Amino acid sequence: MSAVAASTLRSLAIDLGRAFAGALIFSLPMLMTMEMWELGLYMDRWRLLLLLFLSFPTLMFLSHYSGFERTWGWREDLRDVGVAYGIALVASTVVMLLLSILQPGMSPSEIVGKLALQAVPAALGALLARSQLGQESGKDQSDEGYGGELGVMAVGALFLSLNIAPTEEMVLISHRMTAWQSMLLLALSILVMHGFVYATEFKGSSAVPRGTPLWHLLLRFTLVGYVLGLCISLYALWTFSRLDGLSFGQVVGAVIVLGFPASVGAAAARLIL
């Protein structure tokens, strides 16, 4: 084997190893949550299919923006998304077999449901492996423009929402909160999101151009990002049937509760990716 071929194989092995590690890191919170095991059996299959369908463009964006290897076109992004799904399924299968979540005698529908449900966060982790675990970071956010900024925030909000939305605590917390507490939590979410990105000197913080009014930044990024996080929270709660049977006010309360970690995830993603 030539030195070039050996170097290529070594690089490929490193990329796949990082992707596998990323899949484990990002999927373990869901892999070890009892609600996720039950959802794999009882979740409406059309909601699961919709989740997989909607996750595909998100993963394509993530592959282009910060995948586990550099890509130069949609065909390479498509290939890497396929590889990420494959790694996600392998990692999920190994862990669930070791933890006895998958057992002999289970129906094919239950096994497929559990694996498909875990594939989304695991694939996110596989694609994020380069920016999180590798020596290279993702692309400069300034290269992606305003749409890229919003896309990154959506990925961060989606990741935390998917990890927390299946739990019963979101609805329970919203039931215990008063309307005033919900409004204060909403304001705190916006304040934390705005301060996390613009009032700190962390890596990835957006530089504020000279003379730019603060209200412009608040409206253009923070509030738009928060609304995006609320929409993702609403979708995640609906996907996992946490809104079934709730009144409009209860739905709003649950979305505001989940919107808090979603907004933190959105802001953190802009600093990390």
pLDDT, tens only, 144-197: 567 777 888 888 898 888 888 888 888 899 999 999 999 999 999 999 888 876
Task: Tell me what pLDDT residue 62 has.
Answer: 82
Higher pLDDT residue, 265 or 207? 265
> What's the one-letter identity of residue 4?
V
Task: Tell me what pLDDT residue 141 has.
Answer: 46
Higher pLDDT residue, 1 or 41? 41
Asked whether the beta carbons of 187 and 260 are under 8 A apart, the reply is: no
pLDDT interval class at 203 (50, 70, 90)? very low
For residue 42, pLDDT beyond 60 = yes
Q: What do you get for the CA distance between the two ends of the chain, in Å? A: 36
- Please name which of 242, 184, 195, 246 lies closest in space to residue 218, comparing C-alpha atoms: 195
Task: Tell me what pLDDT residue 138 has.
Answer: 47
Q: How many CA atoms lie within 13 A of 8 on its CB side?
A: 5
- Please name which of 64, 67, 82 lies closest in space to residue 128, comparing C-alpha atoms: 67
pLDDT interval class at 2 (50, 70, 90)? low
Task: Tell me what pLDDT residue 184 has.
Answer: 96
> What's the one-letter identity of residue 108?
P
How far apart (Å, rounded) are the C-alpha atoms in residues 120 and 54? 10
How far apart (Å, rounded) are the C-alpha atoms in residues 12 and 6? 10
Q: Tell me which of 1-5, 68-72, 110-114, 125-129 is least confident.
A: 68-72
Q: What is the mean pLDDT of the chain?
A: 81
Residues 6+ apart with CB under 8 A from 52: 116, 119, 120
Residues 6+ apart with CB under 8 A from 209: none
How far apart (Å, rounded) are the C-alpha atoms in residues 27 and 119? 8
Q: Tell me which of 35-44, 46-55, 88-97 is least confident.
A: 35-44
Asked whether the beta carbons of 49 and 113 are under 8 A apart, the reply is: no
Task: Tell me what pLDDT residue 7 has.
Answer: 66
pLDDT interval class at 30 (50, 70, 90)? confident
Asked whether the beta carbons of 125 and 25 are under 8 A apart, the reply is: yes
> What's the one-letter identity of residue 264?
V
Asked whether the beta carbons of 107 and 40 are under 8 A apart, the reply is: no
Task: Tell me what pLDDT residue 234 has.
Answer: 96
Q: What's the whole-number mean pLDDT along residues 84-108?
A: 89
Among residues of the chain, what percentage have pLDDT more than 90? 26
How far apart (Å, rounded) are the C-alpha atoms in residues 61 and 248? 33
Task: Tell me what pLDDT residue 142 has.
Answer: 46
